Amino acid sequence: MALPPPVATTPTCRLWLDAERDPASNMAADELLLAAATPADAWLRLYGWTLPACSFGYFQPHTVAPAGRPAVRRLSGGGLVDHAHDLTFSLAVSRAHPLYQLDRFASYRAVNSALLPVAHALGLRAWLADETVAVDDRRLLICFAAPARYDLVTPAGKWCGGAQRRTAHGLLLQGSIALALTPDQPRAAVAGPVAQALAALLAPASQPWTPDAPFLARVAALAASRYATAAWTCKR
């Protein structure tokens, strides 16, 4: 039985329904949202990719990515994720938020518990995985091939998985929803309920947010200086 989500005390969730961006820019935007999280503002971003790409966890070797496929190292941990046909989301909260106060398993469980009713409403027979699938080397983990504890799974495979990064400032969770498991539902039909469920988890109220030119310039600068560089991608 899923635990109820923590009661959010952050006044507002800033909801960014973003467009498609290149891999480096997607990762840079998520990092900047973590930096922007405050006790007054939590952040939720839903986005896509301009090209089929993979992201892999901060602690994984770059060789886990398929040869010849655009790939980017995430700030969060976890395994390799194929973004060819998924809905990607990120949430960022400050250390004052209840999610930050939970341990990494409980916070992950709270997020996917919030998404479980969405999966059911989309017609999926879904549940939270209660055990981690054994993998000989966790660094080589392929996210959707090996469900972890509290992933959202169905008889056809994993529907939602994610990875976290905790800092002295706050918590970033980057997640991916497999749209292939709901082929009759357009992306927007999945994105709307997902955004509503996660925003309600993060704060009592939500407000649409659109980045201004200075913020997008910071995204571009961080993408170019970190996420698009070989020094970052091949650091392991």
Residue 44's domain comprises 12-233
pLDDT reported for residue 236: 87
- Rounded CA separation 121/81 (Å): 25
In a domain, 86, yes or no: yes
pLDDT reported for residue 8: 55
Q: What is the DSSP code (8-state) at residue 19?
A: E
pLDDT reported for residue 131: 58
Reading the chain (236 residues) residue by residue, the pLDDT tens digits are 444 455 456 789 999 999 999 999 999 999 999 999 999 999 999 999 999 999 999 999 999 888 888 999 999 998 899 998 999 999 999 999 999 999 999 999 999 999 999 999 999 999 999 855 444 444 434 444 567 789 999 998 899 999 999 999 999 999 999 999 998 888 899 999 999 999 999 999 999 999 999 999 999 999 999 999 999 999 88
Q: At what angle do helices 23-36 and 213-222 cross, to 10 degrees?
A: 120
- Rounded CA separation 165/23 (Å): 18
Q: What amino acid occupies position 189?
A: A
In a domain, 30, yes or no: yes
Identify whether the C-beta of residue 207 lies closer than 8 Å to the C-beta of residue 116: no
In a domain, 53, yes or no: yes
Phi, psi angles (nearest 5°) of residue 138: -60, -25
In a domain, 214, yes or no: yes
In a domain, 2, yes or no: no
pLDDT reported for residue 141: 43
- Rounded CA separation 98/107 (Å): 9
Instruction: Report the domain count for the chain.
Output: 1
Q: Which two tokens stand for residue 111?
A: 């997020």
Q: Which two tokens stand for residue 45?
A: 């971003």
Identify whether the C-beta of residue 74 lies closer than 8 Å to the C-beta of residue 57: yes
pLDDT reported for residue 3: 46
In a domain, 67, yes or no: yes
Q: What is the pTM of this model?
A: 0.88
- Rounded CA separation 224/199 (Å): 30
CATH code of 134's domain = 3.30.930.10
At a CB cut-off of 8 Å and minimum separation 6, what does 135 contact?
141, 146
pLDDT reported for residue 149: 86
At a CB cut-off of 8 Å and minimum separation 6, what does 86 contact?
176, 177, 178, 179
